[in-house]
DNA sequence: GTGTTTGCAAAGTGTTTGCAATTTA
DNA sequence: TAAATTGCAAACACTTTGCAAACAC
């Protein structure tokens, strides 16, 4: 839950100018958070909301927001990149038939323990995905 | 651990003719199992082993083997498809800096419990990925 | 022989990039 | 007005596909 009002500050802190496009995309993303988007999907939404923004800019913006810590990229789907407004650690359901992502409520997918790490490595993230089929 | 000798039978059972290309790829895959490959990587290996096989055939073969249950596709990397000779449930380390995959030993990444599933769904698989950075 | 498989090259898909025009500070 | 950002179209990387030739049974 990241109030949209904080977003402007976070853009500034990340050295990102609050352009019309970024603000519009941030609004779509964070006023409806928590949520998951693909570039294509967010672009379509923007168009439907009468926001003129190119697909290239949507891609750039998603990556910039990710670098700024506003989003987390979720690698789950061989065909498409997904982004999540929730950046804290949590698991995902992935509906294979619809290529749709859904958060697993906190506390429902804890690991028994952290595995022994290979020498000279640090954990970047731990991703738990429960892949689901209909029926 | 799937002995290479079983592979011929499994190809037959899957209705796949044991062609020169399939046998050669199966040999590379299962004589060195457990292991992880990408299409590009396996193709390179085949060439180095003097096996003439096209990249298109490598792709086709990897998918056919996956459908036949000989391999499991691991979606972990936004840029490339990875395949694993171990088809039973287990976690993975992913070395982000090298785009390399490694199995987590059995028992080191168990979940405390299965989360409540959304209505009308069944679990296809549960994927646990520990993403690692060097140092 | 008949149906399957292969390899090539072309097409496809999602994503990134170069650069001129535009916008922001 | 200097630097950042956008949008377009082209380029890209990986993957899939159509089809004629080669192969398996």
Helix (H) or strand (E) holding A12: helix A4-13
| Per-residue model confidence as pLDDT tens for chain B (135 residues) | 556 667 888 899 899 999 999 999 999 999 999 999 999 999 999 999 999 999 999 999 999 999 999 999 999 999 999 999 999 999 999 999 999 999 999 999 988 889 999 999 999 999 999 999 998
Measured CB to CB, residues of chain B less than 8 Å from chain A are: 73, 75-78, 81, 91, 93, 95-96, 102, 104-105, 108-118, 120-135
The protein residue nearest D5 (Cα–C1') is A19
Q: Which domain holds residue B96?
A: 5-132
Calpha distance A39→B19 (Å, rounded): 41
Q: Which pLDDT value is given to residue B80?
A: 96
- Percent of chain A's residues with pLDDT above 70: 96
Q: Who among A110, A121, A126 is closest to B112 (CB)?
A: A110
Q: Which pLDDT value is given to residue B2?
A: 56
Measure, in angstroms, how far nucleotide C22 C1' is from residue B107 CA. 57
**CATH code at position B98:** 1.10.10.10
Dig out the tokens for A25 from the structure: 């995309």
Domain count, chain A: 1
Dig out the tokens for A63 from the structure: 């990556």
Per the confidence metrics, is the pTM higher than 0.75?
Answer: yes
| Burial class of A35 by CB neighbour count within 10 A (0 to 12, 13 to 18, 19+) | middle
């Amino acid at each position: 839950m990241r109030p949209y009002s904080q977003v402007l500050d976070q853009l500034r802190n990340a050295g990102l100018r609050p352009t019309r496009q970024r603000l519009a995309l941030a609004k779509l993303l964070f006023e409806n958070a928590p949520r998951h988007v693909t570039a294509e999907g967010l672009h379509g939404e923007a168009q439907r909301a009468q926001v003129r923004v190119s697909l290239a800019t949507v891609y750039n913006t998603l990556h910039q927001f990710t670098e700024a810590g506003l989003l987390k990229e979720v690698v789950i789907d061989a065909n498409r990149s997904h982004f999540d407004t929730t950046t804290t650690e949590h698991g995902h359901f992935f509906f294979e038939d619809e290529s749709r992502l859904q958060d697993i409520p906190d506390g429902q997918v804890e690991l028994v323990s952290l595995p022994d790490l290979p020498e000279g490595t640090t954990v970047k993230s731990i991703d738990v995905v429960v892949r689901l089929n209909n029926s």
